[in-house]
Amino acid sequence: MYDPRMRKLADVLIDHSIRLKEGETVYIEAFDVPDEMVEVLLGKIYEVGGVPMVALRSARVMRKLLLGADQRTLAQIGEVELAKMKRAQAYIGIRGSFNITENSDVPAEKMDLYMKHWSGPVHTDWRVPNTKWVVLRWPTASMAQQAQMSTEGFEDFYFNTCTLDYSKMSRAMDPLVELMERTDRVRIVGPGTDLGFSIKGIPVVKCDGERNIPDGEVYTAPVKGSVNGTISYNTKTLYQGKVFENVVLRFKDGRIVDATSSNTKDMNAILDTDEGARYVGEFAIGVNPFINKAMLDILFDEKIAGSIHFTPGNAYKEADNGNRSTVHWDLVLCQTPEWGGGEIYFDGRLVRKDGRFVIDELKGLNPESLV
């Protein structure tokens, strides 16, 4: 059923996120999303003179495909999908989720083949650095259950979060970007966490609704060999269809030398996918004022106000520390009081305590200033 909020979301995606221009091709990839939302997107694309391509996908069908696929199958699909992606100047990826663990029984070796021959070449290697892209979730009863909310309540939360004033947020991010660009040493402290690293010389990028919806983070990457210490993540994480909690990583000279969790075996199998998976490709600070609790969905969880994420795997070329991997695993640490608190120091100066910025030039990023 058509919801008028769909049109407002389409306006954000087309006009703000990908800034589609007349004559540009946009590839829409929709997993388990209502036809009505895709129809609204198509109407908006035609209004601005864009050229759409559409792929309607199903998570259940994808699982079945992966279970029986071999290298030849996935390499062939990857070649076709890469050719399609290369025809597009922009990309919109929308994912609904009826079952967040749909791929939990897909063997790791099958997921590796998918990452190496399809997802990696198409998305990591081409789409991310070469197109104007945005990815987002679609609200479902399953997501509402993850968030421990009613279906209607979650839909209201979703549309409020995804259609906030991203221009205002973008302006408030500028002082944090400037400060991080001047920073060498970062220290993260909290329960079970004492981690130090350098970000000197690595570009800093603000995420203000142009790549992810919902959005609200500022990211860079650590100098590859500079990370030392321990980080204890206090949110659950979902990766390759499996849930992990109580993740603890210990670093020496940039490399993860010890990794434990509720599923240590499978976690280390992921970290052993390739050499780059044991190095970090992203450090980010979350600031979205509407997101204040984890819901086991990384596109929301990584934006939690008062959080950071520290990401094993591939570095984005916009903030490149040279690390390459088919893995990019955003792991979230919340530092608000209800999560145990914590501090962030830049070059020895306290900049955030218990999830709130404490220096004047950054107070515009505290939640009450953004709503």
pLDDT band at residue 297 under the 50/70/90 scheme: confident
pTM: 0.81
Neighbours of 329 (CB within 10 A): 25
pLDDT of residue 212: 87
Do 99 and 14 lie in one domain? The reply is yes
Tell me: pLDDT of 58 over 90.
Answer: yes
Question: Do 78 and 122 form a contact (C-beta atoms < 8 A)?
Answer: yes
User: Is pLDDT larger for residue 212 or for residue 309?
Assistant: 309
Last residue of a domain, one of 108, 133, 162: 162
Note whether 146 and 293 are same-domain residues: no
Q: Is the pLDDT of residue 1 over 80?
A: no
Same domain, 158 and 196: no
Phi and psi torsions of 225, nearest 5°: -95, 15
Query: Do 181 and 271 belong to one domain?
Result: yes
Q: Do residues 128 and 204 share a domain?
A: no
Burial group, residue 360, by CB count within 10 angstroms (0-12, 13-18, 19+) = exposed
What is the residue whose two structure tokens read 């007349």? 22
CATH number, domain containing residue 82: 3.40.1830.10
CA dist., res. 190 & res. 320, Å (int): 27
* Shared domain check, 194 and 140: no
Are 56 and 79 in the same domain?
yes
Position 234 scores a pLDDT of 97
* Preceding omega of 214 cis (within 30 degrees of 0): yes
Tokens describing residue 14: 């087309």
User: Last residue of a domain, which of 97, 130, 162?
Assistant: 162
Closest CA to 50 of 22, 29, 86: 22
Q: Are residues 238 and 126 in the same domain?
A: no
- 246 Cβ neighbours under 8 A, 6+ residues apart: 232, 233, 260, 261, 262
- Residue that terminates a domain, selected from 147, 162, 177: 162
pLDDT tens-digit series, residues 128-155: 999 999 999 999 999 899 888 999 999 9
Sort 338 into a burial class: Cβ within 10 Å, 0-12 / 13-18 / 19+. exposed
Beta strands 193-198 and 228-232, pairing class: antiparallel
Domain count, the chain: 2
* Integer Cα distance of 79 and 121 in angstroms: 9
Joined together, the tokens standing for residue 266 give 């499978």
* Predicted local confidence at residue 371, as pLDDT: 86
On whether both 282 and 359 belong to a single domain, the answer is yes
Residue 170 sits in the same domain as residue 226: yes
- Does residue 240 surpass a pLDDT of 90? no
C-alpha to C-alpha distances, 290 to 139, 166, 235, 371, nearest whole angstrom: 15, 12, 18, 8
Question: Rounded to 5, what percent of the chain is helix, strand, coil?
Answer: 40, 25, 35
181 — pLDDT class (breaks 50, 70, 90): very high
Whether 245 and 128 share a structural domain: no
Beta strands at 242-244 and 217-220: parallel, antiparallel or unpaired: unpaired
Q: Range of 150's domain? A: 5-162
Same domain as 180, residue 154: no
